[in-house]
Amino acid sequence: MSKNHGFRRYGLRTFCSLLGAAVLVAAATVFIFFLPQDVQSARRSTSFLCMECHPEAKELISKGNVHKPVKLGLCTSCHNPHASKHANLIGSDINALCYNCHDQRRVLAGTEVHAPVEEGACLECHDPHSSNQKGLLKKTASEACYSCHPRKDISAKKNVHPEVKKGNCLGCHRPHASDRAGLLTKDRRRLCTGCHSAKDERLVSSHRGLNVAKADCIGCHSPHSSDNVGILKASMHKPFKDRKCGACHLPGSSKVSRAGTGLCTECHESKMSDFNKRYSHLVNGDGLNPCVNCHNPHSSDEEYLLKDKEERLCFSCHEDTEKLTAKSNFTHAEIQKCSSCHVSHGSNEQYFLAAGEDTCSTEQCHATQGRFTHPVGDEVIDPRSNTPMNCSTCHNPMGSPEEFILRGGKDRELCIQCHQV
């Protein structure tokens, strides 16, 4: 092959390569020049296209605060334009959809999660398109809270906490999650002193000179409203109500005059007979006084001066039962009122049952059970344990994945444990 022929061959190849590169550069220049305008036009045309058939949507997106995807015309970031197995052509499960943009770890940052948040019901509180409220809330913050938490239980009493009166629920509570009970923003002992200085003369005077800097204010005062002056809780321990602090406390001190149950039994002597049973709830508590495990010695909004609602109070010790109940598909109808089946101080019956084996069949509950269904009683022996059968042999009153709170599937699984084919 001659040099001229080789030069012409490789020169032609180089020329073609350069020509191709030039064409690509020109095409890329045109593409880059026109792309931004086309993309914005596509966005505009997408939202305009949707509005042609959904003119009512204009009102949905015309309020003061507009959800960012809506503002950008990105209807299809949430809706599938063709088909979906979800209502309103939502592209995926609503819970997963929101977390595509909103960091789930940040929203759920805390051991206590607000029930609607845990259930993925974001739209119970927030509008997905636009709102005149901050945070795209459908209503004002307080009105949103009252949608689930009845106003009569919060602010309907004679004396209302000023922040509650303002509707400032978020002054004390977090809306999504918290590491504190009640979704509080701070520890309950520090929360109140954020507004009420412990050095305030009126505060010190009303507490008879007691240093309340580290006091548990909610132990005596309702954080929301009360019919009592000073928003004191509804039920008050008689010495507290009569302002006879010296009945329990040393003069000018928060220390009690006597440790243990002896302090309480000076007045409630008859209650000791309730504890002197085979099974007793006398366990060590604050200051070695078991009584204050469950009862508030000053005031309470609950019956018997209980420290909290019955269910929460019991679950504060019986965490295993709470976990079982939470994950169960079926629970006992009275699961939130433990005292409907159990006695609180002591019992000669296992599990503190109010009427022993007959607790389930009392007149107000399951009076006819055991008469026409599976036999139970001392003469009916469970072959697995060689003990008499009772209701809890087959049913778990705390919770179960099975209907009728059964301990196994009703069609076969449970029965064949005893009845071998």
**SS3 sequence, 215-231?**
CCHHHCECCCEECCHHH
Residues 199 and 208: their CA atoms lie apart, in Å, by 13
Residues 6+ apart with CB under 8 A from 282: 261, 275, 290, 346
Task: List, for residues 199-212, the tens digit of each pLDDT value.
Answer: 888 888 888 777 78
Q: Which residue has the tokens 């087959």?
A: 394
Whole-number pLDDT of residue 1: 47
State yes or no: pLDDT of 168 exceeds 80: yes
- Say which range, 214-218, 253-257, 274-278, 367-371, has the weakest mean pLDDT: 367-371
Q: Are the C-beta atoms of residues 400 and 410 closer than 8 Å to each other? A: no
CA distances (Å), origin 191, targets 194, 207, 218, 312:
5, 18, 10, 21
Q: How many CB atoms lie within 10 A of CB 332?
A: 20
Q: Tell me what pLDDT residue 68 has.
A: 92
Q: Average pLDDT, stretch 76-94?
A: 88
pLDDT band at 60 (very low <50, low <70, confident <90, very high): confident
pLDDT of residue 22 exceeding 70: no
Mean pLDDT in the chain? 85
- What's the confidence (pLDDT) of residue 403? 92
pLDDT > 70 fraction of the chain, expressed in percent and rounded: 87
The pLDDT assigned to 371 comes to: 64
Q: What is the mean pLDDT of residues 166-184?
A: 94
What was the pLDDT predicted at 30? 46
**The predicted structure's pLDDT at residue 175:** 95
Between 366 and 247, whose confidence is greater? 247
pLDDT of the residue at 250: 87
Question: Please, are residues 198 and 213 in contact by the beta-carbon 8 Å criterion?
Answer: yes
Q: What pLDDT score does 221 carry?
A: 93
pLDDT for 7 equals 43
Average pLDDT over residues 132-155: 92
